[in-house]
Amino acid sequence: MQDGQKSGLLKEKRTAPKKKKPMDKMSIAFAVTVIVLAAAIVLYSAYESIRSKIEYNKWSELQSSLATETPPPTEPVATEDNSPLPLTPLAQELLKENPDTVGWLKINNTNVNYPVVQKKSLEDGGNDYYTNHSFDGSANRKGAVFSDYRTTIEDRYQSDNIVIYAHNEAANDMFGDLDLYKNSGGDDWNPKALEFYKANPTFEFSTNYTTSTYKIMAVFVTMRTDEYDDIPLFDYQNYIDFTEDRYNDFIDNIEKRNKLSTDVDYKYGDRFVTLSTCSNEASDARLVIIGRRVRDGESTKVDTSAAEFVSPEYEHDWTEIYKNAG
């Protein structure tokens, strides 16, 4: 009898609900602090995004109106004494806001329609400053669209290859819409990339003096390091001014990685613009789009009837990279 009673008591003891200890004041304060900080970060991020959108919409509207009223010349204005070329009306307004302005970049049917800025030395911030500063110079994690600090963009001379950077924003701001040209890889790619390219095979880059059209000749994703696979590193951002050998090396590296097969031709002496942004295949992955400037007297139209995406010689195996980086 005693054994049975003892057994019952033990059973009741095992099944009795345990009382939860109330959170102490310090734990509550910590939890509240975390929630408040998280909310503040979200709100500030939204504020930055809205402020940035308002700012760039203002300049985009100005660009559209001035382009209609007084389109900039497509070739340098002839002068007898090689005096400085006149600034376009748009450049005059942009330079008042930011003397770092070097041009304007526009891709039809995308949100890419922005002023381009440039710090011209490492002492002034180099390629770092505009990764977290907006066009007006205010701190903003979205940054701005900016040219490599080593690039020359003057009235009568520009580098052989102008490299332009911007963040790949999830809201398709800045260079987020470049993913529309990407036919595979990561999460942000476009199953209709070929159709999009065929409808939008060019982009415009205007300096402070003239406007030029560029025919898109290459689209690829590459790594900024050769640490995780056997594909040779292509430092495309370091190809700015060319000797003929340097040009040939530039083209050879592009052709081995290019996923876009197109009829756009190129030769030594041509000028290029390289657009570079992050790509979500890996932390060091970069989406690169390269355009060749339309030559004097050449049509801006592109025959895209034979265009297709292909498997290049050098194409990263992202599964292998994840494994090696892990």
Rounded CA separation 279/185 (Å) = 9
Give the residue from 87, 83, 306 showing the smallest Cα distance to 198.
306
Output 324 or 179, whichever has higher pLDDT. 179
pLDDT tens for each residue of 51-103: 666 778 777 787 777 776 666 666 665 556 678 899 999 999 999 999 999 99
Spatial contact of 196 and 190, defined as CB atoms under 8 Å apart: yes
Q: pLDDT at position 56, please?
A: 80
Q: Identify the DSSP state of 141.
A: T
Question: Among candidates 167, 151, 171, 148, which has minimal Cα distance to 159?
Answer: 151
Query: For position 6, what pLDDT does the model report?
Result: 44
Query: In sequence order, what E strands does the chain have?
Result: 101-106, 113-117, 145-147, 161-165, 202-207, 211-223, 260-261, 272-278, 285-293, 308-309
Domains observed in the chain = 41-325 (2.40.260.10)
- Spatial distance between the Cα atoms of 115 and 63, rounded to a whole number of angstroms: 9
End-to-end CA distance of the chain: 63
Q: State the virtual CA torsion across 73, 78, 83, 86 in degrees, nearest 10.
A: -20
Report the alpha-carbon distance of residue 193 to residue 110 in Å, rounded: 13
- The predicted-structure confidence for 265-318, as pLDDT tens digits, reads as follows 999 999 999 999 999 898 899 999 999 999 999 999 999 999 999 999 999 988
Residue 100, strand partner residues: none
Measured from the Cβ of residue 155, the count of other Cβ atoms closer than 10 Å reads 17
Pick the closest to residue 112 from 67, 169, 66, 69 (CA basis): 169
